[in-house]
Structure 1
Amino acid sequence: MKFQWPRSLRTRLLVVYSIGMLTSALLVGLMAFFLAKPFNRYMLQYGAEHFAQGLAKRAQFAADGTPIGFDEEKIDKWLFHSFREDVFVRITAADGRVIFSPTSEEATALAPPGAAFDPHLKRFALQHDGVPMHAATTPIEHGGTTWYVQFAASDRLVLKLRQSFGTPGLHQGILATCLTFLAVFLIATHLTLQRMLHPLRAASIEAQNISPQTLDARLQARDLPEELTPLVEAFNRALDRLQAGFRTQQEFLANAAHELKTPLALIRAQIEMVHPTQRNPFLLQDVDQMARQVQQLLLLAEASEPRNYRMEEVSAQAALAEACDYMARVAERSGVHINYSTATDEPHTTPCWQADRGALFTLLKNLLENAIQHSPQGTTVTVQADPTGFSVKDQGPGVPPADLGKLFERFWRGPTRRDEGAGLGLSICQEIARAHQWQITARPCHPGLEIKVRCQPTDLPQEIRGNG
């Protein structure tokens, strides 16, 4: 089975570092296993020399310069008596005569088997009663005379002490050191990566908030690692190209719609100049339909440009009254009644929203117009508002569940739609909601359709949501 690397950069680094540390520990263990015997031999030789040098520093002399022993405040005499079979100490002259020995028995200078005393032999091995020992000789100067301190310890004593106390303590110390080092390393690496990746997470949030209405926003690369700076700069350049293309598209749409208004007006004037008996009765209707589509295209271009909005506090009561009064004549011609109301937790107050007054009027007008067109005669269109937003509900045939997701698509027209309109009304509503950072949703009511606009973002399950 192929190993799958985690997608998280932090996890990858931690995994690599952990594998590296475990591999290093394994290599150290293998080296310790294969080099244990040579290391022990070296430590026996080095230990004897080290102890001989320590004794030499604590040697004491008589008034005539003759060595008389060691500083008993630093070195207790009982050590040499208790381990007399495994520890030997001598102070000798240059000719090998023993000047001092801690034991009362007659002592001879230490030397390798079958060899004489050699003051220049720093380290050597010997045997005493068949017990292997390691010894060392260290010179010491005093009063112009050179003396030699000799120290020997049996291998069995040193190895036994090491096996009983040194090796377990060493293993525990190494284990504790490794665990401490690993914990400190992982914590330090985690905190370092967290600090290093924080600007990247902030840049990701900034990128998520970029929308067609905020294409002028750019990611900041000053706090990012140098390796990620080219990626952020490339992303910003892509945004520059996208913004230029989007602006060109919007300008073309607005210019085309604006330029078409004058020819349509001239065509309508020419048609009206023809005598009614000679006039095609459907020409004016077709021209009005085209003029309406052009006007909606112009509104769509304006609604897609965030610079056209000027936010202010708008009274819900005043906004609903203005839009409902404006659409009252259209509703009356269709035989539909409009009923609107506002609700608030505090009496004698009316809800308020932060919105562009003109865009809010267009949003309400389009929703009301859409509801009126789909309402049978004698029914009621209900508009309700509260501090969180408003809703428009009709009593028409509704929209099939399969078509709910298409409501906010441009130029989409349902099978039950009347001939008026170009399928841009709800698209314009969606663009206005986006510019206000609102949420626009639609859901069936049985009968009819309810469209809600949330001025405060909330989770709305079981609803079809426009990308507002």
Structure 2
Amino acid sequence: MPCVKLQWPRSLRTRLLAVYSIGMLTSALLVGLMVFFLAEPFNRYMLQYGAEHFAQGLAKRTQFAADGTPMGFDEEKIDKWLFTSFKEDVFVRITTADGQVVFSPTGEEATALAPAGTAFDPQLKRFELQREGVPMHAATTPIEHRGATWYVQFAASDRLVLKMRHSFGTPALQQGILATCLTFLAVFLIATHLTLQRMLHPLRAASIEAQNISPQTLDARLQARDLPDELTPLVEAFNRALDRLQAGFRTQQEFLANAAHELKTPLALIRAQIEMVPPTQRNPFLLQDVDRMARQVQQLLLLAEASEPRNYRMEEVSAQAALAEVCDYMARVAERSGVHITHSANTGTQGHQAPLCWQADRGALFTLLKNLLENAIQHSPPGGTVTVLADPAGFRVTDQGPGVAPADLGKLFERFWRGPTRRDEGAGLGLSICQEIARAHQWQIMARPSQPGLEVHVQFQPSDPPQEIRNEA
């Protein structure tokens, strides 16, 4: 038969509660077994101890006559009916040292209590005897008064004590133990739950901080304060890993920017040397290759700059002015392709016009819009229209080209990815640059099919909403 391996829950809180609960149940089981096996010896001991305890209590409340002879017990403390009503099961004697009874609550002639077949022995503190076949436990306690020593004897039948214990004591004890255990268990579980919740709160806060760390926020570090000592090394190791990751990422970005920057001058020199060659001797495709390489180098430089949040300076940018600037800049490119550009900005107000402003880096916003327009123009057919619509929630650029297959929409913003309808221009970095700029602004950029063509939508996040500024003239 295959062995079944139990799987512990992954939650630390659940594990601790399970271990504590199992420990408490095991403890309760052990206590129950001890009570089961030790009940009889313990019951016998309690009978003997009870008899001695009652005898000592009677000795303390013994009253004496004027001549120093015991005459009974303090009835304000001990009711006399306790001895007379249970005269067959409870016996009380006050004797002299030789066993002569000087007081009995029933007033009848009585003899001193002693084990069967033996005489009265004042040194015998606890003993067993039988009266008319009924087992009893008895005790003898000395008491001194005016230089004389007297002996108080008390005996109770086992049947009376056990009956009262089983009828009243044991059920009450069981109910008390059950109520105590349930109360203790409830208090323990609630206290443990609250304690664990308080202890694990810093860990949940650290996990949220870790989730918010991105390539744009590699300088953030987890706070180790208030964390349990066992988890502090893990957080510190994670922070050291972030230090190494940030150093590697910064080195990669610096290398990319430096390489792109260093390549611009050689490419410019190569182009100048080619242009110096007479047109009849010039390779017609050489300038195109140099221009394409120069464009790729420029895009790599822009990508490196867009991936570094320190390069951004946020300010209020007029949406109408930004759209007009980019559309005017791309107008000549659109004319060469036979494409028309239209743009409009919806302020969201009614009854009067108000300038629409966004919180953005002016240069990065220009690059973002330029790349989207350039991509839309390149994919639009001659005579097509590229539309730019802006509102307080974001903006969208729509073309009338062949569009992108739904299966390829997720790859659209990957670096160096080019679709089946790609052209010779570009290296597949334009939309990747747009994504880096949007991410740095905490915006969301997405693409979806249009009828016809493709629509790229840039939506502002709630954490950094656009602002609508009105003239105060």
Q: TM-score range by the shorter chain?
A: over 0.9
Residues 425-451 of structure 1, C-alpha deviations (whole Å, 9 max, x = no match): 011011111111211111112321111
1:236 aligns with 2:239: yes
Counterpart AA for 2:438? A
Q: Deviations over 1:353-404 (max 9, x none)?
A: 3221111111111111111111111111121222221111111101112211
Deviation string, structure 1 residues 102-156 (Cα, Å, up to 9, x no partner): 1111121111111111222111111111000001112223333322221111000
Counterpart position of 1:95: 98
| Distance change in 2, residues 1:292/1:127 (3 Å) | same
Q: Aligned to 1:53, which of 51, 56, 70?
A: 56
Identify which range, 62-71 or 42-51, moves more after superposition: 62-71
The aligned counterpart of 2:416 is: 411
- Among 364, 367, 370, the residue aligned to 1:362: 367
Q: Give the superposition deviation at 1:417.
A: 2.0
Which among 401, 419, 422 is matched to residue 427 of structure 2?
422
In the other structure, the counterpart of 2:183 is: 180
Correspondence for 2:168: 165
The residue aligned with 1:466 is: none
Alpha-carbon deviations, 1:273-325, whole Å to 9, x = none?
A: 11112111222111111111101000000011111111223232222222222
* 1:154/1:292 CA distance change after superposition, 3 Å: same
Specify the alignment match of 1:397 in structure 2: 402
Q: Which amino acid aligns with 1:257?
A: A
Alignment correspondent of 1:43: 46
Unaligned runs of 5+ in 2: 464-473
- 2:382 is matched with 377
Whether the aligned pair in 2 keeps the contact of 1:90 and 1:109 (CA below 8 Å) is yes
Deviation per residue, 1:36-89 (Å, 9 max, x gap)? 111111111111111112222222222333222212111111111111111111
- Give unpaired runs (5+ residues) of structure 1: 459-468
| Counterpart among 109, 113, 126 of residue 110 in structure 1 | 113
Match of 2:310 in 1: 307
Quote the residue 2:469 is aligned against: none
Query: Counterpart amino acid of 1:73?
Result: E
Rounded to whole Å, the distance in 2 between the matches of 1:38 and 1:285 is 106
Counterparts in 2 of 1:352 and 1:98: CA distance versus 1, 3 Å: farther
1:259 and 2:282 matched = no
Tell me how far 1:457 sits from its aligned partner. Answer: 5.4
Tell me which amino acid in the other structure corresponds to 2:189. L
Partner Cα separation in structure 2 for residue 142 and residue 288 of structure 1: 127
Tell me what 2:471 maps to. Answer: none
> Partner residue of 1:208?
211
Say which of 80, 86, 90 aligns to 2:89.
Answer: 86
Is 2:294 aligned against 1:291? yes
Query: Which is worse superposed, 141-150 or 65-74?
Result: 141-150
* Corresponding residue SS for 1:227: coil
Q: Distance in 2 between matches of 1:354 and 1:116?
A: 110
Displacement of 1:238: 0.7
CA distance in 2, matches of 1:93, 1:102: 16
CA drift at 1:424: 0.3
Shift of 1:242: 0.6
Aligned partner of 1:75 among 74, 78, 81: 78
How far 1:350 moved relative to its partner? 3.9
Identify the range of structure 1 (110-119 vs 156-165) with the bigger mean alpha-carbon deviation: 110-119
Aligned residues: 458
In structure 2, the partner of 1:277 is: 280
CA contact (8 A) 1:254 1:302 kept: yes
Q: In structure 1, which of residues 318, 322, 334 is the aligned counterpart of residue 321 of structure 2?
A: 318
Verify the 8 A CA contact 1:213 1:304 in the aligned structure 2: yes
SS in 1 for 2:231: helix
1:147 matched to 2:150: yes
Whole-Å separation in 1 of the counterparts to 2:455 and 2:210: 33
Matched to 2:270, the amino acid is I
Q: What is the match of residue 455 of structure 1?
A: 460
Q: C-alpha separation between the residues in 1 aligned to 2:142 and 2:310?
A: 94
State the TM-score, normalized to the length of structure 1. 0.95
> What fraction of aligned residue pairs are identical, expressed as a percent?
88
The whole-number CA distance in structure 1 between the counterparts of 2:343 and 2:217 is: 34
Asked whether the equivalents of residues 373 and 417 of structure 1 are also in contact (C-alpha less than 8 Å), the reply is no
SS in 2 for 1:20: helix
| Matched AA of 1:209 | N
Q: Distance in 2 between matches of 1:209 and 1:416?
A: 37
CA deviation string 1:229-251 (max 9, x = no partner): 11111111111111111011000
Give 1:464's aligned residue.
none
Partner of 1:461: none
The two structures have a TM-score, normalised by structure 2, of 0.94
The residue type equivalent to 1:413 in the other structure is R
Q: How far apart are 1:212 and its partner, in Å?
A: 0.6
8 Å contact 1:411–1:423 — kept in the other structure?
A: yes
Counterpart residue identity of residue 115, structure 1: T
SS in 2 for 1:157: helix
Determine the structure 2 residue equivalent to 1:465. Answer: none
Aligned CA RMSD, in angstroms, stands at 1.4
Quick check: 1:339–1:380 contact (8 Å CA) kept in 2?
A: yes
Q: CA deviation at 1:255?
A: 0.3
The one-character-per-residue Cα deviations of 1:392-425 (angstroms, maximum 9, x if unpaired) are 1111101112211111111111121222111100
**Which segment drifts farther, 371-380 or 324-333?**
324-333
